[in-house]
Amino acid sequence: MNRSLAIFGGSTLIYVGLAILMGVLPGIWLSKVPPTPGLKPLTPLEARGRAVYVSEGCFYCHTQQVRPLSGDKPFGRPSAPGDYVYQTPELLGSERNGPDLSNVGTRQSSNVWQYIHLYEPRAVVPQSIMPAFPWLFQIVNKVPAEEKPVPLPLQFAPGGSVIPSDDGKALVAYLLSLKQPVLAPTQPGAPPSGPLGGTPGFDASKGAALFADNCASCHGAEGKGVPGTFPPLAGDPVVNAANPAAHIGTVLHGLSGKMINGQKYEAQMPSFADQLSDQQIADIIDHERSSWGNRGALITAADVVAVRANEPRQQRAAAPAQASPVPAQAPAFDAAEGSKLFADNCAVCHGAEGKGVPGTFPPLAGDPVVNATDPAEHITTVLRGLSGKTINGQKYEAEMTPFADKLSDQQIADIIDHERTSWGNRGPLVTPSDVAKARAKK
């Protein structure tokens, strides 16, 4: 009897202990995380949309969690605990039959696109396997004055005009509210004006963002690490050492099994030598050396180069090949990059073959602006977006998203050059400096 009591009671205790340690305590800790700066609470309409999202089962196939993996980059930055403050229970999802939606409000901000896509996904993405949700819409013969009909492509349009129901509007409002705020440095302005200011300057916001993308998932946004598993960086001797060689070497090549303050850390830290540039590594290291009470001497990209140079010979042999001579000035462009960027950013509306969606999204194949000798209008359209333009006698109402804040000059140039050389188009190529010039013009 005593023995069975010990077995039963002991196993219950172990189970309860584990539940508290792995569920309750982290839950309490996470519930105190402040909202990510810039995150807005849901409006009543968006909250209703969230209920529709749940009742329609969107989370069976869509996640709302971006992992710090290269494969997750198209969905946004890695998710942070503060992103979920206004949405409990969190709709994390467990399977991606469809793309992650954490940042869909930024990635696909056109409500017209969202309505068409919900009514019939294959009208905009032919290969889609998403079910259609026609019950979120009404088909009417006469469109009420305050409503706008959904501009469906002809082959998908039913008899009458399609207008979204209240649930449909709420769901789209919720989807468009899913925007990841940009992670700002924790204390704006503080790190660069630290006590060691004056030494090599670095861009604090860049360092903080890079740290958030690459390091914070283990070492914590506040540099506290995870006790016993991932070492804290706040107060770490290597981070505060006057000689930065060990610090740089750790970021370049990773580390595991090191004893720090009497605690052995087994988890393998990845190597970043091939993933980040010298400048990026210097920014991260300077962020670490000037945050959370750390006071290590700042470094420059040149220091990182010096530590890289001490690598074994075979690795060094590969280095000069990568450090290619001065980039060529001719307007050559990377066709593969342009094609990929186009697929990621433009193809959902304009179609992978540049055919668009008749009457809703204009085709790019044969478009006069795309083939114009002066690329100014083409560049401006990509930078600032467009709507309500008449092309070849057809008026296009749907709003095109501006890309000025989402893509670099080089990326925009790659996309434009892809469009100007594909599907029979023969427009002259553009360079990133053309894009920069167009940006400068207001």
Partner 1 sequence: MLVPVLGGTANFLLTFRGRYERIYRSPAVFILIGVYGYLLGSTQGTFEAFRSLQQLWHLTNYTVGHSHLTMYGFVTFAIWGGVYALLPRATGKYPYNLAMGVHFWLSAIGVAIYVAALSAAGTIQGLDWLRGLTFIQSVEDAAPYWLWRSVGGSLMFAGHLVFAFNVWTMTFGRSYATLAAAETVPA
Helices 278-289, 245-253: inter-axial angle, 10-degree rounding: 120
d(CA 66, CA 36): 15
Region binding partner 1 by CB under 8 A among candidate stretches 45-53, 178-186, 342-350, 393-401: 342-350
Strand-pair partners of 361: 357
Q: Is the CB of 125 or the CB of 301 nearer to partner 1? A: 125
- In the chain, DSSP finds a helix count (H) and a strand count (E) of 19, 6
Binding mask 96-125 for partner 1 (x = CB under 8 A): xxxx-------------------------x
Q: How far is the CB of 56 from partner 1 (least distance, A)?
A: 20
Q: How far is the CB of 408 from partner 1 (least distance, A)?
A: 17
d(CA 172, CA 50): 9
Give every CB contact of residue 344 below 8 A, 6+ residues apart in sequence.
74
Give every CB contact of residue 100 below 8 A, 6+ residues apart in sequence.
62, 63, 64, 65, 66, 72, 75, 76
Judged by CB under 8 A, how many residues of this single chain contact partner 1? 23
Give every CB contact of residue 390 below 8 A, 6+ residues apart in sequence.
396
Q: Is the CB of 73 or the CB of 253 nearer to partner 1? A: 73
Q: Which of 122, 148, 206, 340 binds partner 1 (CB under 8 A)?
A: 340
> What burial class does residue 307 get, using C-beta atoms within 10 Å of its C-beta: 0-12 exposed, 13-18 middle, 19+ buried?
buried
The reply on whether position 344 binds partner 1 by CB under 8 A is: yes
The reply on whether position 266 binds partner 1 by CB under 8 A is: no
Helices 409-420, 376-384: inter-axial angle, 10-degree rounding: 120
Q: How far is the CB of 103 from partner 1 (least distance, A)?
A: 13
d(CA 14, CA 48): 41
Q: How far is the CB of 188 from partner 1 (least distance, A)?
A: 33
> Which segments of 118-234 are extended strands (E)?
137-140, 161-164
Region binding partner 1 by CB under 8 A among candidate stretches 126-134, 194-202, 390-398, 415-423: 126-134
Q: How far is the CB of 59 from partner 1 (least distance, A)?
A: 12
Q: Is the CB of 63 or the CB of 380 nearer to partner 1? A: 63
Q: Is the CB of 20 or the CB of 343 nearer to partner 1? A: 343
Q: How far is the CB of 269 from partner 1 (least distance, A)?
A: 12
The reply on whether position 279 binds partner 1 by CB under 8 A is: no
Binding mask 296-335 for partner 1 (x = CB under 8 A): ----------------------------------------
The reply on whether position 14 binds partner 1 by CB under 8 A is: no
The reply on whether position 127 binds partner 1 by CB under 8 A is: yes
Helices 278-289, 301-309: inter-axial angle, 10-degree rounding: 110
Q: How far is CA 342 from CA 108, 117, 154, 330, 345, in A?
A: 14, 19, 25, 22, 5
For 4, the token pair is 């069975």
Q: Is the CB of 178 or the CB of 248 nearer to partner 1? A: 178
Q: How far is the CB of 71 from partner 1 (least distance, A)?
A: 3
Q: Is the CB of 67 or the CB of 437 nearer to partner 1? A: 67
d(CA 307, CA 252): 9
Q: How far is the CB of 54 from partner 1 (least distance, A)?
A: 19
Q: Is the CB of 292 or the CB of 361 nearer to partner 1? A: 361
Give every CB contact of residue 403 below 8 A, 6+ residues apart in sequence.
345, 382, 383, 385, 412
Give every CB contact of residue 275 below 8 A, 6+ residues apart in sequence.
214
Q: Is the CB of 54 or the CB of 129 nearer to partner 1? A: 129
Q: Is the CB of 107 or the CB of 378 nearer to partner 1? A: 107
Binding mask 58-97 for partner 1 (x = CB under 8 A): -----x---x-xxxxxx------------------xxxxx
Q: What is the largest CA-CA distance in the chain?
A: 92
Q: Is the CB of 59 or the CB of 86 nearer to partner 1? A: 59
d(CA 156, CA 401): 24
Which residues here bind partner 1, judged by CB under 8 A? 63, 67, 69-74, 93-99, 125, 127-129, 340, 343-344, 347
